[in-house]
Copies of this chain bind each other. A is one copy, B any other.
């Protein structure tokens, strides 16, 4: 069949396992997400997710200590809106479903699914369900049901309702979610054609209202003969703690139209087109489509690890946002990147408290996994100890600012966040004499690589802290008035500078490469040859202490810093890439994208390509085996990074846009759209050429393949 780059069909997937399909074909708009459930017999994972709508529960520890996270924050799985009950003339329910087809039209944001449904007598009818979510008026979902006869002819009775009470199950796998037993469901409105349910969380004390409305009745009887029956249900899912009204809901056609406009505009700004591999072209479109769908756009919510496609990781926000997702938004939809920064600003007061709890007398420490700003991780060695999240957030502001020059955001949020995180570093670290020199060190930290924990001077962390201080100094100098308001003194600037210059960056002279942490190279290398395939991911088969005492990486760590700062010689980078690649398991879905981008930068085209394939298709081939729980949103963003920064060689350095053509050999052409300081650029890479076009905006000086040039419109 013909592959369409912005269409995903059932045939494009290897698995038709219902929960897997629910994740893949989920549709969302940053506010709400609907898993693509079977409307007749949904799986346990089916349901609706509202960004940031969570319940709390006490975290139970085997052994508790001071300062541990107190409460779980668990995203609520709300009732499934796609469900419908169909009864035959004898009032027997149609209960068996056969999925016929599913297709996601990513050009328009429309999900089509068709089912054959049978009753106990094995008589069949057909159900076609079309779903579309409103993107701007984000409360609304349009659902169009088309029912036609197959061999069953006669009356059918339909009941449209919201089933509730099912939440996720508890699991030992930290990547899943947990059961919630403290939800209250109240029917706020029940009429013939309208139905509003209010769900209240007992502990976090939030509520949400969900409603259904239809032009016909929510319970109706039809005669099914030769003509199919079609009817629309419009669902509304309100904002947190706000009542909803079903009085002026849009029609299905209005929702559909708005969706088409939205996605047309989205692709116009964000297009990435691969000529030469239809599957990868489809995959990258899928990734960007789902990434956009998951992003909170109100400054109060963010992007959870599974977006709005599932309740895995309990709906928590991680550093994934800043380091994997926000690059795409900064370069294609800066408004969303700014909203994500605003979210961090909103939780800054919590971050300040957290720094105090961690014994740091000034500055802010953002929590590792959270919805409401408080730490929600029950295992500090691979969470709270990942202090680098502070600098990651600062970096996302730096990136945003480089791309947009948006002084307003810096004044409103940026400077304060960058300053408070810089203050954290200066108060968290300490000077110590190393080889006769006073060096500034960070002890007992965990870097991005969660297969090493509680180490000293993690290279990535230290390099990022150095950046954080550098950027703080820059912004203070650029916005002296605002800095003064925030209490910055000359002494503080001096302190920032001294510390910035003294931060230790572990380097191994013998190997000639940066060392992941102070003692990393002293440890033995993981016995890869004695490790059977089924023992991966290691975290599920070895005690943390076993993993920690070896050189083995879950994901890019030192190499991530190399990727971000591009500040070591190519010679060193070649060695470094080679060394760390050999000891990296890629057990984290965050790993391969960075390896791909770096390999592309190094000219290792085949390697970059094979890492990219795995990155691009992580969910489409269920590489990690747990797409059931939701999509790997960070990796979706990572695949964009791999294309744009890797193959497309796009970087901003010293205020200049660099473009380097690293096109894979198998591709004929790659087209990328990005925004840059008010312009919309179209960049076309072919094997022999790199062409930059300004679609809108002023002329620009850029460096293409090492040559500085000016591009006119």
Contacts and interface: CB of A to CB of B under 8 A. Distances in A.
A549 interface: yes
Interface in A331-356: none
B443 A549 contact: yes
Given A359-B546, A443-B522, A454 B456 contact: no
Contacts of A62: 59-61, 68-69, 72, 377-379
Question: Size class of A's contact patch?
Answer: 35 or more
A68 B519 CA distance: 26
Given A432-B524, A519-B518, A545-B384, A377 B61 contact: no
A570 interface: no
Most buried by B among A172, A357, A430, A443: A443
Given A358-B543, A539-B66, A546-B359, A523 B443 contact: yes
Interface string A54-74: 000001111111111100100
A667 interface: no
A540 interface: yes
A444 B431 CA distance: 24
A543 B456 contact: no
Interface in A414-453: 430-432, 434, 441, 443-444, 453
A542 interface: yes
Q: How many copies does the complex hold?
A: 2
Nearest to A454: B454
Interface in A50-101: 59-69, 72
Contacts of A237: none
Contact of A540 (B66, B518, B543): B66
Given A453-B454, A546-B359, A541 B65 contact: no
Contacts of A522: 432, 434, 441, 443, 456
Interface string A182-221: 0000000000000000000000000000000000000000
A328 interface: no
A315 to B, nearest CB: 16
Contacts of A441: 522
A377 B379 CA distance: 15
A548 interface: yes
A548 B454 contact: yes
A380 interface: yes
A65 B432 contact: no
Contacts of A518: 519
A549 B174 contact: no
Given A432-B522, A454-B548, A522-B456, A357 B66 contact: no
A359 B539 CA distance: 12
A367 to B, nearest CB: 13
Nearest to A387: B545
Contacts of A573: none
A566 to B, nearest CB: 30
Most buried by B among A63, A68, A431, A434: A63
A129 interface: no
Given A454-B548, A519-B518, A539 B432 contact: no
A143 interface: no
A250 interface: no
Given A61-B61, A62-B377, A65-B543, 9 more contacts: A62-B69, A63-B378, A359-B542, A359-B543, A381-B381, A443-B523, A443-B548, A456-B522, A519-B519
15 contacts: A62-B69, A63-B377, A65-B379, A65-B539, A65-B543, A65-B544, A66-B539, A66-B543, A68-B543, A358-B543, A358-B546, A359-B545, A441-B522, A443-B549, A454-B545
